[in-house]
Amino acid sequence: MRFPLVHDSHDPLYRQIERYLRDSILSGELEPDTRLPAGRRLAQELGVSRITVENAYAELHADGLVITRPGSGYYVNQILPSMFVTASGDAPTVNEPLWQRELPECALFGGHEFENGKGIISFEAGSGDVSYFPVTEFRKIMQDVIRRDGTAAFEYGEYNGYAPLRSAIAHILTSRGIKARPENVLITSGSQQAIALCTQLLLKPGDTVLTENPTYSGALYLFRAYGLRVVGVPVDSEGMQTEKLESVLQQYHPKLIYTMPDFQNPTGTCLSNPRRQQLMALAERYNVAVIEDDYVGDLRYEGRAQSSLKALDPGGRVIYTGTFSKMLLPGLRIGFLLAEGPIYRVLTERKYVHDIAASNLMQRVLEVYLSIGRYRNYLRRSCRIYRERRDAMIKAIGEYLPASVSFDKPKGGLFIWLALPQGLAAEKLSRIALTEGVCCAQGKTFFTDQGAPRGAFDIRSDTGCS
């Protein structure tokens, strides 16, 4: 099988291979149940590395266009996913402009798309419940800021963020045992942008990033969109299994470790202190950068907080990211990162290129909200409310689900990770729940590959429904 590749293109080679094979499958040129060439053979024919071909095959597999057979390789799926099939049952043929045919495939929104408040009880979301947020109080603070600052509140503002807000965040981080200075805090449009900025700066298409397996689906989407190879390290009740980390580092030579040590999304586990120490020692030994995503570290119901990775990092290897969107308002879109040295300046430049600056008005309002103690009060209330919801959810699981359903009781955060009994697939349970107006997250969404157990299931205790 030979086809032309453009080696000096900005389009990664594996994407070019994937697109050619995808078009061949959808056009019928590659018939159902056709065996694809072995990765090594196709790599030799095309003059590329084997991993390039394997990445292309992995993308086709993730979209359901091909399947694997143990010991035999990849085959064209006999039944194409519904997103690739028209009502007549044929692959779509759209008379689209030639330049649009070169666009990457969009696989992010292939799941359920519901309008809020339309009778669906959703346990899929991973953000706070806005129904009890003190909107009146927040509106008054906003009005006070506008009266105080006038039109200055509506200007672009500082590229690295509103200085008083950076000071307030540095103060919060210092109280957590992290050495933070305002000049090392960069305000971003949510933590997702913080992760994106770091990823774009530290890696290039084809590089490898390590994550927990399972991990935050938003990070997986981001890494894949940038053409990265994502390799997962298993998770147990004490977080990432760092005893398996060294062999993965030796085998794949990653440039980045992305981790959520506290109340990990989606398992809700916390990385034990010995494993935190081991992760940092291995990152130092193998010279790997670390992104610590602390999205709801403050939402602890019980137990003592452990040192963050950033607090264990004297040399600036860890880039620490956080957000206020999860705990306060999803639409607030205010996050931050903490980094030292030259990388901070470059990240600030990249932030400017992306969107110049985060909302100046929202930064000023948030700074007041933090400084007068309202955030601390709201956090205490949130911990009480979410702890009650967690307990109610665990009680309901015990009453209505089989005893063979297993889970670890989270000590904080927004998630409960269920392991279903043998023979009950998450896909089936999800369909049944949906017919009853309940939407839950299937475990496969959070895995780095297609090796997700069929019984992995995730529910989030942040829902406003009762």
Q: Identify the pLDDT of residue 149.
A: 98
Beta-bridge mates of residue 300: 412
CATH of the domain at 210: 3.40.640.10
Residues 228 and 365 in one domain: yes
> Does 219 reside within a domain?
yes
Residue that is last in its domain, among 358, 375, 392 = 375
Residues 194 and 335 in one domain: yes
Segment 188-194 mean pLDDT:
96
> Does 4 reside within a domain?
no
Residues 381 and 371 in one domain: no
CATH of the domain at 416: 3.90.1150.10
Segment 426-447 mean pLDDT:
81
Residues 255 and 330 in one domain: yes
> Does 351 reside within a domain?
yes
Q: Identify the pLDDT of residue 12.
A: 86
pLDDT at 126 over 90: no
Q: Write out pLDDT tens, residues 245-290.
A: 999 999 999 999 999 999 999 999 999 999 999 999 999 999 999 9
CATH of the domain at 36: 1.10.10.10
Q: Write out pLDDT tens, residues 286-319.
A: 999 999 999 999 999 999 999 999 999 999 999 9
Task: Determine the structural domain holding residue 438 and report its residue range.
Answer: 121-131+377-460
Residues 54 and 171 in one domain: no
Residue that is last in its domain, among 309, 341, 375 = 375
Mean pLDDT of the chain: 87
Q: pLDDT exceeding 70 applies to what percent of the chain?
A: 88
Residue that is last in its domain, among 355, 375, 395 = 375
pLDDT at 448 over 70: yes
Residues 199 and 247 in one domain: yes
> Does 109 reside within a domain?
no
> Does 3 reside within a domain?
no
Q: Identify the pLDDT of residue 1.
A: 76
Residues 311 and 195 in one domain: yes
Residues 213 and 301 in one domain: yes
Q: Write out pLDDT tens, residues 349-402.
A: 999 999 999 999 999 999 999 999 999 999 999 999 999 999 999 999 999 888
Residues 362 and 393 in one domain: no
More confident residue, 389 or 104: 389
Residues 241 and 387 in one domain: no
Which pLDDT band, with edges at 50, 70 and 90, does 453 fall under? low
Q: Identify the pLDDT of residue 121.
A: 78
> Does 1 reside within a domain?
no
Residues 456 and 385 in one domain: yes
Residues 293 and 435 in one domain: no
Q: Identify the pLDDT of residue 11.
A: 80
The total domain count for the chain is 3
Q: Identify the pLDDT of residue 427.
A: 78
> Does 6 reside within a domain?
no
> Does 2 reside within a domain?
no
Both structure tokens of 47: 């003059």
Q: Identify the pLDDT of residue 107.
A: 54
Q: Write out pLDDT tens, residues 145-154.
A: 999 999 999 9
